[in-house]
Amino acid sequence: MKKTISCVILLLGLITVQAGIADEEIDKIAAKVSEYTAAGNYPKALEELAWYKKELEKRNFKKILEFFQEDLAGFKRQSPKTQSAVGIITIETSYKKNSEKIKATLTGSSGGTAGAMGGLAAFGHLAAMQSGASGHDSFRLNGFTATLNQQRRRPELSVILDNGWIIKFVAAEASAARSFANEFPIVELNDYLKGNF
């Protein structure tokens, strides 16, 4: 019995050490960037900086996913899909409650500024200003510009956040998409994406 307890304690110790390695590793990468920069070895500094950026992006993904709560308004979150390409982040997941399903997708720039997404957001604002045209409606949702497109098979509600980020909710009914969007922590997510926390 004592041997089993000792093994469990040792295993927990190893897990704790493994959990701490990530912070130590990112600190080591940062130190290498500084070291290579000071030595004027910019190719190596840039190489290490790329690894540093990748690690930060992983952590950013993880933090953003926290806003996609596992339980929200009686819905259960399904496994999220994340991808990053040419500076654009996309996080997509579905929520289910009995036979009802709502898809939530967040898209934005990993650089923290509008970048390529700025044009998309500007287009969204323009579309919002042309509200009322064939199946489109625009309104304010928690202080943000929102557009509801009912021309699709499943209504799509888009909320334009700051810095060019856009979050979309797709549901079987427009009222369901709107109700779910009101429950989603949009303000808190927007604050995080702006770095206001």
Same domain (yes/no): 10, 75 = no
pLDDT of residue 112: 53
Same domain (yes/no): 43, 91 = no
Tell me the CB-side half-sphere exposure of residue 169, using CA atoms within 13 A. Answer: 27
Same domain (yes/no): 53, 83 = no
pLDDT, tens digit (0-9, with 9 covering 90-100), for 122-164: 445 445 555 555 678 999 999 999 999 998 789 999 999 998 8
pLDDT of residue 98: 94
Same domain (yes/no): 100, 165 = yes
Same domain (yes/no): 31, 44 = yes
Q: 22: domain range?
A: 2-62
Helix (H, G, I), strand (E, B) or coil at 29: helix
Same domain (yes/no): 116, 187 = yes
DSSP lists the bridge partners of residue 83 as: 90
Instruction: Check whether 51 has a pLDDT greater than 60.
Output: yes
Instruction: Check whether 10 has a pLDDT greater than 60.
Output: no
Same domain (yes/no): 125, 166 = yes
Length of the chain: 197
Instruction: Check whether 92 has a pLDDT greater than 90.
Output: yes
pLDDT of residue 197: 76
pLDDT of residue 22: 73
pLDDT of residue 111: 62
Same domain (yes/no): 16, 80 = no
pLDDT, tens digit (0-9, with 9 covering 90-100), for 173-191: 999 999 999 999 999 999 9
- CA 92 to chain centroid, in Å, comes to 9
Dist. CA 42–CA 36, nearest whole Å: 6
Instruction: Check whether 31 has a pLDDT greater than 60.
Output: yes
Paired tokens of 39: 């030595």
pLDDT of residue 101: 97
Residues 6+ apart with CB under 8 A from 138: 127, 128, 129, 131, 145, 146, 147, 148
Residue type, 118: G
pTM of the model: 0.75
Query: What CA–CA distances, in Å, run from 127 to 57, 91, 103, 114?
Result: 31, 23, 22, 18
Cβ atoms of 159 and 186 within 8 Å: the answer is yes
How many distinct structural domains can be found in the chain? Answer: 2
Residue 80: CATH number of its domain: 3.40.1000
> What is the number of helices (H) and of strands (E) in the chain?
5, 9
Same domain (yes/no): 48, 107 = no
pLDDT of residue 3: 46
- CA 55 to chain centroid, in Å, comes to 15
Over range 11-38, report the average pLDDT: 71
Paired tokens of 148: 């509801």
